[in-house]
Chain A
Amino acid sequence: MTTPPPRVRVTGPARRPIVSARRGAGEEIDADTSLGELYVGSLLRAQLRLAVAVLLGLTISLGSLPLVFHLAPGLAQTRVQGVPLAFLILGFAVYPFLLAVGGAYVWRAERNEKAFTALLDAGPEDDEPG
């Protein structure tokens, strides 16, 4: 009992079959290579493009209203069924509009993420593991 038995590395079979010597997309990202940056960059740009599109739409639709009302004061006073147009837009119509835009955004953003996940699963060499 004076010399302990030499240490042995305990190993098991690989949980996932090793597909190829080439690195998967996830490893490219983890290793912060230029290819990995390309993957993340494409997702980031897609999400940013989507965000900018929504904000641009919001600016043009809602953001232009004060200017429109300023330039055409008669427009705001126009009554629809007795309700002044400004009240109708700012008090009612705007909320379903915002909700619809938000819903469309969530749908598109999740689709972008699904595309990214699928891209990583497929890997750079296009052969599915397993």
Chain B
Amino acid sequence: MTLDGGQAPGIIAVTLVVITTLALGAWGLRVSRTTSDFFVASRSVRPGLNAAAIGGEYLSAASFLGIAGLVLAFGADMLWYPVGWTAGYLVLLVLVAAPLRRSGAYTLPDFAEARLGSRRVRSVCSVLVVAIGWLYILPQLQGAGLALRIAFGAPQWLGAVIVALVVLANVTSGGMRSITLVQAFQFWLKLTALLVPLVVLVAIWIGDGAPNPDDVAATGNPDVWSLPLSEAGGPQGLYVTYSLIIATFLGTMGLPHVVVRFYTNPDGRAARRTTLIVLGLLGLFYLLPPAYGALGRLYAGDLAAQGQADSLVLQLPGLMASGLLGQLLTALVIAGAFAAFLSTSSGLTIAVAGVLSQDLIGRLAPGRRVPGIASFRIGAVIAVLVPLLGALSSPDLGVARAVGLAFAVSASTFCPLLVLGIWWRGLTDVGALAGLLVGGLGSGAGVVWTLLTVRDDGLLVLLSQPAAWSVPAAFVTMVLVSRFTRHRRSPHVNTFMVRLHTPEAVPLDRG
């Protein structure tokens, strides 16, 4: 669908978001001076600002577009996605927030090396960070293509290229310090861009006599829509739901762009408080997309049948409100969607570029010492270019589905590494390596399977939703192999535990 001649507000909205993003980034550039500014904003970001930045970074295309579309197409079952993405922060808060900050490492590979003293574990972690990051950036770029196509009938590649270029410009110029401001701004933009149109749409809905979305039989059986296990039903539906819960609850802590944010907190206590504020902000935001899904049942039921459920948020204002009002509201949601693509891609690019510059570029030129910021910029280019090529060449995966796979890989690899590394002295480098391989290969097989085919009937559901078996397998492998390789325990483990768990104010030897 293209808007009836009134594309100007949408074009202006996207342009404004892009310009504001670049301007905030350029302003941040003036205060960005050191490598520490680049990677972690010199670790001095206040909890309120940091929490908004985390929220801005975390609420991706999957949250902004995907949830509403899934709720429209499949009903209450899909509410587990936003619930899991929020509960994941509670699990993160409880298990890793403060210790991770206190570990004093920049990235996940840094943490692994500091805890286990093994270069090999570090390398495996680096590969995983890059893989998860790319798997996550890909649907953001595809979502951008979708948004511009819906709004202006632009070719699919245009949105992806614009987002890639803006992200590169911002990340390579200002690094983490300037991105923090941009992300915080984009959280509030996203919230406004969903809330304001929703208020108007709900008013229109009440004007129409407030029909109950649950009574509409637009697609399939209306009884099934409100059921939380409707999609597959039976034991298979139960398995899919639990697998999703495990992937999202446990996967959040291992996402590269989430983890890197924790190092920008001043101390462990601030890391906890930041996470708590994030919980509140996410809860606030996730009230909105399901409402779009429910209204979509009434006003845009045929979108799901046409396989365009992902575009529901973008199209609903135009379908419900006519004339200039519809155009303005559409422009607002497009602006919010663009903010979502930009902020999540920026955060992931920073995380992936950090790892690439430290572990790949640094190692490729061991003799010639590349200056920190220069290699970070090279890393950022690689970090964006690969998923951009993927987005341009691969078919549309469905944003929430691709993001779900990134969560499954993260839950199967970094979750056991972080949880056991932080709470159990007995973890050894060999145990961690074995667990990472088991979890990574198990969930990776699921990713490859899903990228190649869409079949998930019968037992194949085990592959398309791997978390329920790959996460326990990774945990068990890490514990068992560590027990058999007790002699390889890190000699500094006790000092490291002191550093992870004691408040910074206490003067102790932290290694």
| Interface set of A (CB-CB < 8 Å, partner B) | 26, 29-30, 32, 37, 40, 43-44, 47-48, 50-51, 54-55, 58, 62-63, 65-67, 69-70, 73, 76-77, 79, 82, 84, 86-87, 90-92, 94-96, 98-99, 101-103, 105-106, 109-110, 113, 116-117, 120
Q: How many Å lie between the Cα of A110 and that of B270 in the bound state? A: 11
**Which residue of chain A has its CB nearest to the CB of B294?**
A87
Contact-size category for B:
35 or more
CB distance from A18 to the nearest CB of B (A): 16
B433 contacts A by Cβ under 8 Å: no
CB distance from B256 to the nearest CB of A (A): 23
* B502 and A106 contact, CB distance less than 8 A: no
Taking CB atoms, residues of chain A closer than 8 Å to B279 are 98-99, 102
Q: A82-B212, A90-B83 are in contact. Are A106 and B93 (CB under 8 A)?
A: yes
Taking CB atoms, residues of chain A closer than 8 Å to B93 are 102, 105-106
Q: How many Å lie between the Cα of A27 and that of B324 in the bound state? A: 71
Q: How many Å lie between the Cα of A87 and that of B280 in the bound state? A: 19
Q: A30-B509, A106-B93, A116-B502 are in contact. Are A66 and B79 (CB under 8 A)?
A: no
| 8 A-B pairs with C-beta separation under 8 A | A62-B83, A70-B237, A77-B226, A87-B76, A95-B86, A99-B280, A116-B503, A116-B506
**Which residue of chain A has its CB nearest to the CB of B494?**
A32
Taking CB atoms, residues of chain A closer than 8 Å to B283 are 95-96, 98-99
Q: How many Å lie between the Cα of A54 and that of B276 in the bound state? A: 14
**Which residue of chain A has its CB nearest to the CB of B289?**
A91
- Give the residue of A29, A70, A106 whose beta carbon is less than 8 angstroms from that of B498: A29
Q: How many Å lie between the Cα of A32 and that of B294 in the bound state? A: 59
Taking CB atoms, residues of chain A closer than 8 Å to B174 are none
B290 contacts A by Cβ under 8 Å: yes
* A86 and B275 contact, CB distance less than 8 A: no
Residues of chain B from 59 to 114 with CB closer than 8 A to chain A in the complex: 76, 79-80, 83, 86-87, 89-91, 93-95, 98
* B423 and A44 contact, CB distance less than 8 A: yes
| Interface set of B (CB-CB < 8 Å, partner A) | 76, 79-80, 83, 86-87, 89-91, 93-95, 98, 212, 214, 223, 226-229, 237-238, 241-242, 245, 249, 269, 272-273, 275-276, 279-280, 282-284, 286-287, 290, 294, 423, 494-495, 497-498, 501-503, 505-509
Q: How many Å lie between the Cα of A110 and that of B268 in the bound state? A: 10
Q: How many Å lie between the Cα of A62 and that of B85 in the bound state? A: 13
Q: How many Å lie between the Cα of A95 and that of B86 in the bound state? A: 8
Taking CB atoms, residues of chain B closer than 8 Å to A101 are 90
- Give the residue of A99, A106, A120 whose beta carbon is less than 8 angstroms from that of B273: A106
Q: A30-B509, A44-B501, A87-B226 are in contact. Are A103 and B276 (CB under 8 A)?
A: yes
Q: How many Å lie between the Cα of A106 and that of B100 in the bound state? A: 15
* A98 and B508 contact, CB distance less than 8 A: no
Q: A40-B497, A84-B214, A98-B279 are in contact. Are A117 and B505 (CB under 8 A)?
A: yes
Taking CB atoms, residues of chain A closer than 8 Å to B505 are 117
CB distance from A53 to the nearest CB of B (A): 9
Q: How many Å lie between the Cα of A25 and that of B79 in the bound state? A: 50
